[in-house]
Amino acid sequence: MKQIRVGVLGYGYWGPNLARNIAETDGLCLAAIADERADRRAAAARRHAGVAVADSAASTIDADRIDAVAIATPLSTHFPLARAAIEAGKHVLVEKPLAASRREAETLGELAAKQGVRLMVDHTFVYNGAVRRIRGIIDSGELGELLYLDSVRVNLGLFQTDSNVIWDLAAHDLAVMDYLVDERPVSVSANGSSMAGFAHENIAYITVHFANGFLGHFHVNWLAPVKIRQMLLGGRQRMLVYDDMDPREKVRVYDKGVDFSIQDYEARRQILVSYRTGDMYAPKHDRREALSLVTAEFASAIAERREPMTGAAAGIRVVSMLEAAEQSLRNEGRRITI
């Protein structure tokens, strides 16, 4: 198999992870790293001897010896860099979210289709072993009809200088919901605030409404004292908890959903007193680094000339929800139709 030569654009927080995984993925070859900052270029050179290191993303994109680029630069630059790469005939892997607006995301999708190159968005959590295991559990039908998804992703940190907590953190969880739930949302509400004197919202609550009554809710927060990454997924037959911080049992499936047979008030009250009802099981799952599966999927999609699992369509859907959430945030939480 011909090696795909990949250039990594941006070597800040996520770039080093992309570079490392690209270097170790069969079918990919880490060929170049570009970053404007000298200290980051020095770090890249130390860790990846033999890889070309440049200060310009543009020249890396244009280099003939580059077949593809992986973009890990600030959100506002996703669009211009991805467009330039696609127009230069290069395959593109973009850090989430795909772009800063639905219009940008759609434009990239159309351009890639026209140019016949692969456009993939790095929705990392979709490749996480626990999340893929949950998709398998949903597919088995054991949860029954899905009722709601409740997600909490909070930690202490102030990271994006050019966007708010929704675009940074909720992008992960909306991508996960997009992957797990086949129905498509109809509207989005959001409330939030930019606290402690910051320019962008650092705490937000997003509600995603579906035509069939399914409800998605997302709490994202940069001002939390502890790191919580927890998801509840309620089904009529069974429900599950996905706690990404639990070193032992990330996924727990509870065998009681909503029991219609309990009519008696006292009996139902008894359930309240319990911490849980019914048996629980915690399936094992693939514990490989999710990003290694992202880069492997990028390699396969290019080699097989097919859409990647998280291609332009998924990227556009997630950006659409993010855009609607931000619009709701600017309109006192009103529902914004997608």
Is 161 near a copy of itself (CB under 8 A)? yes
Provide the phi-psi class of 278: left if phi over 0, else alpha when psi is between -120 and 50, else beta: left
Enter the DSSP assignment of 175.
H
Beta bridge partner(s), residue 242? 231, 251
Select from 28-36, 175-183, 232-240, 294-302 the region that touches a copy of itself (CB under 8 A).
232-240
Is 136 near a copy of itself (CB under 8 A)? no
Beta bridge partner(s), residue 247? none
Structure token digits, residue 68: 């593809």
Question: Angle at which helices 102-115 and 312-329 pack, to 10 degrees?
Answer: 170
CB neighbour list of residue 333: distance below 8 Å, 6 or more residues apart: 189, 190, 191
Is 335 near a copy of itself (CB under 8 A)? yes
Report 7-26 residues binding a copy of itself (CB under 8 A): 12-13
What strand order describes the sheet that includes 185-193? 251-254, 239-243, 223-235, 146-156, 215-221, 203-210, 185-193, 336-337
- Our CB check for a copy of itself shows the closer of 88 and 135 to be 135
- Our CB check for a copy of itself shows the closer of 113 and 196 to be 196
Select from 27-35, 60-68, 80-88, 326-334 the region that touches a copy of itself (CB under 8 A).
326-334
Is 1 near a copy of itself (CB under 8 A)? no
Distance in Å, CB of 268 to a copy of itself, minimum? 6
Distance in Å, CB of 137 to a copy of itself, minimum? 12
Q: Which residue in the set 26, 159, 162, 327 belongs to the binding site for a copy of itself (CB under 8 A)?
A: 159
Burial class, 68, CB count within 10 angstroms (exposed 0-12 / middle 13-18 / buried 19+): buried
Is 288 near a copy of itself (CB under 8 A)? no
From the list 63, 83, 78, 76, the residue with the least C-alpha distance to 7 is 63
Q: Which residue in the set 141, 186, 278, 286 belongs to the binding site for a copy of itself (CB under 8 A)?
A: 278
Interface size with a copy of itself, residues (CB under 8 A): 76
Select from 86-94, 105-113, 120-128, 155-163 the region that touches a copy of itself (CB under 8 A).
155-163
Report 188-207 residues binding a copy of itself (CB under 8 A): 189, 191-193, 195-197, 203, 205, 207
In 3-state terms, what secondary structure has residue 106?
helix
Is 241 near a copy of itself (CB under 8 A)? yes
Q: Which residue in the set 31, 75, 154, 174 belongs to the binding site for a copy of itself (CB under 8 A)?
A: 154
**DSSP-derived pairing of the beta strands 119-122 and 239-243:** unpaired
Asked if residue 151 lies in contact with residue 172, where contact means CB atoms within 8 angstroms, the answer is no
**H or E segment and range at residue 4:** strand 4-9
Residue type, 217: H
- Our CB check for a copy of itself shows the closer of 64 and 182 to be 182
From the list 107, 103, 106, 108, the residue with the least C-alpha distance to 118 is 108
Select from 100-108, 110-118, 249-257, 318-326 the region that touches a copy of itself (CB under 8 A).
249-257
Distance in Å, CB of 312 to a copy of itself, minimum? 28
Beta bridge partner(s), residue 29? 5
Is 150 near a copy of itself (CB under 8 A)? yes
- Our CB check for a copy of itself shows the closer of 192 and 308 to be 192
- Our CB check for a copy of itself shows the closer of 2 and 46 to be 46
